[in-house]
Structure 1
Amino acid sequence: MIDPNHPFYEPLWRRLLIPAICAVWVAFELLAGEPIWAAIVGAIGIYATYKLFVERR
C-alpha cells in the first residue's frame, strides 16, 4: 500500500508527518472512548512507520 521509494516520500518531514498524524488520531480515539478504532489506527501507524523508515531503500 505504501511504496517507500516513491518520490512523494522523499522529504523527511512527510515521512515523519504520517506516523505523527496516526499517533494524534490514536490519542483522539482513546479520549473518545473508542479503543477498537484506536487499535486499527495504531496498526496503520506502525505499518507506515515500518514501511517508511525500516523497509525504505
Structure 2
Amino acid sequence: MQLFDADHPFFRPLWRRVAIVAVCLGWAAFEFASASPFWGALFGGVGVYCAWALLINYRPDTHTK
C-alpha cells in the first residue's frame, strides 16, 4: 500500500523529506505528551512510514531531475 508518491518532484530536496518526517514524529510526541495515545500512535506510524519511504527507501538515482 502506498500513501503517497515518493517519485513526485516535490520530494526531491532532502530538507523537505526530513521536515515531513520531523513534523509527523514531533506531532506524535506532542499527542503522547497531551495524553492522547491513539493520535500519538497514529502520527507515530505515519512518521515511521514517511521515514521509510522518504529517507530509507528513497533512491535519488532513479528519480529524474
- TM-score, length-normalised on structure 1? 0.88
Specify every segment of 5 or more residues in structure 1 that has no aligned partner in the other structure, as ranges: none
Q: What is the one-letter code of the residue matched to 1:7? A: P
Deviation, 1:14, is: 0.3
Deviation, 1:8, is: 0.3
Query: Do residues 31 (structure 1) and 49 (structure 2) align?
Result: no
> RCO (CA 8 Å, sep 6+): is it higher in 1 or 2?
1
| Bigger share in helix | 1
Q: String of CA shifts for 1:15-35, please: whole Å, max 9, x gaps.
A: 000110011101110111001
Which of 44, 51, 54 is 2:53 aligned to? 51
- TM-score, length-normalised on structure 2? 0.79
Percent identical: 42
Give distance in 1, aligned partners of 2:54 and 2:40: 21
Q: Does the Cα contact within 8 Å between 2:11 and 2:17 map onto a contact in 1?
A: yes
4+ residue runs over 4 A deviation: none
Higher Rg: 2
Specify every segment of 5 or more residues in structure 2 that has no aligned partner in the other structure, as ranges: 60-65
Superposition CA RMSD, Å: 1.0
